[in-house]
Chain A
Amino acid sequence: MREWEDIREMLQVSLVKQVHSQLKLTIQLALGSECGVLFGRSGAGKTSLLHLIAGFMPAESGRIVLAGRTLFDSDQRLNMPLRARGIGYIDQRDSLFPHLDTRRNIGFGLQGWAADQARARVQEVADLCGINRLLTRYPETLSGGERQRVGLARALAPRPALLLCDEPVSALDFAARFELLDRLRTIQRVEKLPILLVTHSPAEALAVGDRLFHLEGGTIRAEGPPLQVLTSASLGRHAWREPVRNLIPAFVERQNPADGETVVRLAGDHGLQLTVPYQEAAVGVPLRVVVRSDEILLGLETATSLAGRISARNILPGRVEQIFPHDGEAEVVVRTGDVRWTVSVVAASIPSLHLNPEAEVQLIIKARSCQLLESALDD
Chain B
Amino acid sequence: MSELDLSPFWLSLRIASLATLLVVATGLPLALVLARGNFVGKGILSGVVLLPLVMPPTVLGYVLLLILGRRSWLGGLLEHALGWTVVFHWSGGVIASAVAAFPLFLLPARSAFEGVEPRLEQMARLLGRTNWSVFASVTLPLAWRGLASGVILAFVRALGDFGATLMVAGDMPGRTRTVSMAIYDAAVLRDDPKTALVFTAMVSTVSVVALVITQTLWARRPRTP
Contacts and interface: CB of A to CB of B under 8 A. Distances in A.
Interface of A: 54-56, 81-85, 87-89, 91, 93-99, 108-109, 111-112, 139-140, 147, 154-155, 158
B122 A56 contact: yes
Given A54-B122, A140-B225, 13 more contacts: A85-B126, A89-B123, A89-B126, A93-B225, A97-B142, A98-B142, A98-B222, A99-B141, A108-B124, A109-B127, A147-B225, A154-B127, A158-B127
B201 to A, nearest CB: 38
B120 A81 contact: no
B47 interface: no
A96 B137 CA distance: 13
B120 A82 contact: no
A371 B127 CA distance: 36
13 contacts: A54-B122, A54-B126, A81-B125, A82-B125, A82-B126, A97-B120, A97-B142, A98-B225, A111-B128, A139-B225, A140-B222, A140-B225, A147-B225
Contacts of A91: 119
A95 B129 contact: no
Contacts of A85: 126
Contacts of B123: 89, 95
A94 B225 contact: yes
Interface of B: 117, 119-120, 122-130, 133, 137-138, 141-142, 222-225
Contacts of B130: 83
Contact of A99 (B126, B127, B222): B222
A239 B137 CA distance: 43
Contact of A98 (B124, B127, B129, B224): B224
B interface secondary structure, majority: helix
A119 to B, nearest CB: 17
Contacts of B142: 97-99
A243 to B, nearest CB: 31
B130 to A, nearest CB: 6
Contacts of B225: 93-94, 96, 98, 139-140, 147
A87 B127 CA distance: 8
Nearest to B133: A111
A83 B128 contact: yes
Contacts of B141: 99
Contacts of A97: 120, 124, 138, 142
B120 A95 contact: yes
Nearest to B127: A109
A54 B123 CA distance: 10
A285 B222 CA distance: 40
A87 B133 contact: no
Contacts of A98: 142, 222-225
Q: Which 9 A-B pairs have the closest CB atoms?
A: A109-B127, A82-B125, A95-B123, A83-B128, A82-B126, A99-B141, A83-B125, A109-B128, A108-B127
A87 B129 contact: no
B115 to A, nearest CB: 11
A297 B155 CA distance: 75
Contact of B128 (A89, A93, A140, A158): A158
Nearest to B224: A98
Given A111-B133, A139-B225, A95 B125 contact: no
Contacts of A108: 124, 127, 129, 137
| A55, A98, A158 interface centre (most CB from chain B within 10 Å) | A98
A154 B128 CA distance: 12
| Max chain A Cβ within 10 angstroms of own Cβ: one of B122, B126, B222 | B126
B167 to A, nearest CB: 43
B122 to A, nearest CB: 6
B7 to A, nearest CB: 43
A84 B128 CA distance: 6
Contacts of A109: 127-129
Contact of B126 (A87, A93, A139): A87
A115 to B, nearest CB: 16
Contacts of A96: 225
Nearest to B144: A99
A135 to B, nearest CB: 18
Nearest to B120: A95
Nearest to B117: A95
Contacts of B224: 98
B174 to A, nearest CB: 47
Nearest to B125: A82
Contacts of A94: 225
